[in-house]
Amino acid sequence: MLRWRQLFKRKSLEGLIAELAGENRLRRALGPVSLTALGVGCIIGAGIFVMTGRAAAEDAGPAVMVSYAVAALGCVFAALCYAEFAALAPVAGSAYTYSYATLGELFAWIIGWDLILEYAMACACVAAGWGNYLNEFLDVAFDYRIPDKYCSAPTVANDALFNMPAVGIMIVITIILIVGIRESAITNAVLTVVKLAVVLFVIGIGFTLINEKQNNWTDVPYAQRKTAADYIDAEAVVTNVMREDDAESGEKELTDDQRVQIKNDAAYLRAYLTLKKIEQVTAEGTTKGDLTTEQAAAQVADAQRQLESTPATAPPRERLEKYLDAVGEKELQKWGIVRYVVKPETLQPIDNAVRSNFAPYGLSGIMLGAAIVFFAFIGFDSISTHAEEAINPQRDVPIAILASLGICTVLYILVAAVITGMEPYPEIDAKAAIAAAFRKQAEAKDSGLLRLSSLFISTGALAGLTSVLLVTFLSQARIFLAMARDKLLPPSIFGTVHPRFKTPHISTALTGFCICIVAALTPIEALGEMVNIGTLFAFTVVCITVLILRIQKPEMPRPFRCPLLYVVAPAGVIVNVAMMLFLPLVTWVRLFVWMAIGMAFYFAYGYRHSILGKELMTELAKEGVGPTDAPLR
């Protein structure tokens, strides 16, 4: 019984509110305009620079614009619930602080541990994206690029060693935060202006560069792709099959003969897939009346000639069938874990019904794209944490949340429209889409002005990503410090403050080292998926718990009450869980492993050393309860 009491024992709301008294009280000076500006500044950051290209090129095509709208909808519901959650404990802080005061120690630990994952993976992801934009900057400014071998995470499909720029920027950020950095409203304002300037510049100039001869949003046939890069990474498929066939090769260096075979088989596979897709789409077009029989036959014949004229020789039938099986598996991967509970023959017709030139990957591509670009909206919770400073939180907080998300959504959709309009989505650079699009235009038109534009975008992106790294890593340190002060983490490691710099130097150095390793060796796609599933999980928990608390404790003081909570909270759960379901199974496995490690650590250490647990034992001792079954030793 005592153990259960500690798991759900809450921090005193009175104690937290007492922090508002006297000189420590924050002045209520923020109106809806100030809060909206704050929200826009915090939201616009890494996501738009890092994730838009990947989602457009590989997941959703031009329909990435719809993906942004879906992600924004989930964010609106979650943000309104988060605002009420934050208002329950009206002090400046994080979801960890709020949950400790309203839900109890166990939930505080779960959310805190999840935030550690979110912030750490976000830092690693942004660091990897920073390296991609550094390469774009070097390419435009000095006509030099860091070799992919030292600028990518190693996978079975490449010979990369590690992501050197990601490690370099993380070392610099770690040193800065150990030595100490003073947050400044002026600095934040300048960085916000820089980020907004880049985004507005991309929109303003980009629309003038949209291809006038071909509408890349709707006129790029999803069957007739210039390359198969958007459909399948043919070389990755061939390499993986080769690895499986030659188990003894393991991760050893590929031979020259194997490299030639990979290039040959991948080229043939691309042409073969294009033919099969055109056969499928023309058959559908003929049935719907969009194509005449003669038009369909002409398109198929053209694709057949392209296949026959491919310099690559056809691989043996058995090996080709293995490639096709791998391709079919790849197509289903966009359904995430849905594919494990719904039969593939049910899912494919759904995709085909939605599939078009605008949405070449169907419904699964749009939803997976939403789960990926959700990264671009992380930061809206900052508005809720400033509810204490709002002049009229009941009115100003929801206005600021909706306004900031609305502004950012419009900007994101416009940027996505520009990127997918400037070039066909199969040709979009997934690593640094915005700067690369302008660089390609500059090279095609031999324009010095466009080269300067690309240079400006790369420089602005580097500045914006650096600021995001600083703020995110700083938030990570604050979470560690808060949990260490509650003795849920070892204070000697995570709570020690440097006597000179007054910073949590040990935890910062340790975390920086771990993030360096992860950023150096993990593909940016996996990092982004981990950030998103961790954040979506946290916001889903918030939506559920706010609804439960409204039912169980309606008398609790709420400076802000979520409007239509009984509609908003369930809608938030549905939309956010839906996005989570489209993330890959391996991402779910990583989340569960991380949470399992966290629960093991909590019961092995945090549960036994918790300050709240000690206070509970003291209370029970005063009541005459014996030490039997006590949580502390």
CB burial of 432-447 (b: ≥16 within 10 Å; e: otherwise) equals bbbbbbbbbbbeeeee
Confidence at 101, pLDDT banded by 50, 70, 90: confident
Give me the residues paired with residue 390 across strands. Answer: 30
| Nearest alpha carbon to residue 365 among 283, 74, 357, 406 | 357
pLDDT at 553: 82
Tokens of 601: 């650590």
Average pLDDT for the chain? 79
Confidence of residue 633 (pLDDT cuts 50, 70, 90): very low
Q: Which residues contact 189 (CB under 8 A, 6 or more apart)?
A: 41
Strand partners of residue 30 = 390
| Residue extent(s) of CATH 1.20.1740.10 domains in the chain | 2-142+168-209+364-417+431-622
Helix axes 105-142, 448-485, angle to 10 degrees: 160
Q: Which amino acid is at 617?
A: M
Mean pLDDT, rounded, for 220-232: 45
pLDDT at 325 over 90: no
Domain 2-142+168-209+364-417+431-622 indexed as CATH 3.40.50.300 = no
H/E element, 114: helix 105-142
**What letter represents residue 278's amino acid?**
I
**Is residue 370 very low, low, confident or very high in pLDDT (cuts 50, 70, 90)?**
very high
In tens, the pLDDT along 161-215 reads 889 999 999 999 999 888 876 554 456 567 778 888 888 999 999 888 887 666 7
pLDDT score of 227: 36
Least confident of 287-291, 357-361, 425-429: 287-291
151, β-bridge pairs: 163
Q: Render pLDDT for 575-589 as a digit per residue (tens, 0 to 9).
A: 999 999 999 999 999
Check if the beta carbon of residue 283 is closer than 8 Å to that of residue 290. no
Q: Nearest 5°: CA angle at 456, between 455 and 459?
A: 85
Higher pLDDT, 43 or 15: 43
Most confident of 141-155, 249-263, 521-535, 618-632: 521-535
Residue 279 has a pLDDT of 76
Asked if residue 228 has pLDDT above 60, the reply is no
Question: Using one digit for the tens of pLDDT, what is the confidence trace for 391-414?
Answer: 877 778 788 888 888 999 999 999
pLDDT > 60? residue 513: yes
In this predicted model, what pLDDT tens digit does every residue of 230-259 receive, in sequence order?
445 666 666 666 666 655 444 556 677 777
Are 562 and 546 a contacting pair, CB within 8 Å?
A: yes
Which is more confidently placed, 389 or 78? Answer: 78
What's the pLDDT at 158?
62
Whether 532 has a pLDDT exceeding 80, the answer reads: yes
Tell me what percent of the residues of the chain surpass a pLDDT of 90. 19
Q: For residues 259-269, give the mean pLDDT.
A: 76
* Residue 106 pLDDT class (50, 70, 90 cuts): confident
Burial class for 577, CB neighbours closer than 10 Å (0-12, 13-18, 19+): middle
Q: For residues 144 and 125, what is the distance between their CA atoms, to the nearest angstrom?
A: 23
pLDDT above 90 (res 64): yes
Are 510 and 493 within 8 A, CB to CB?
A: yes
* Contact predicate 430/98, CB 8 Å: no
Locate 106 and state its tokens: 């166990």
Question: What value does the mean pLDDT take over residues 474-489?
Answer: 84
Is it the case that residue 11 has pLDDT exceeding 80? no
Q: What is the Cα–Cα distance from 283 to 55, expressed in whole angstroms?
A: 28
Does pLDDT of 223 surpass 50?
no
Q: How far apart are CA 613 and CA 619, in angstroms?
A: 10
**Token pair listed for 206:** 């980009």
Average pLDDT score over residue span 53-60: 87
Has residue 623 got a pLDDT over 80?
no
Task: Say yes or no to pLDDT of 631 above 50.
Answer: no
Q: Is the pLDDT of residue 389 over 50?
A: yes
77-81, 313-317, 627-631: which has the minimum mean pLDDT? Answer: 627-631
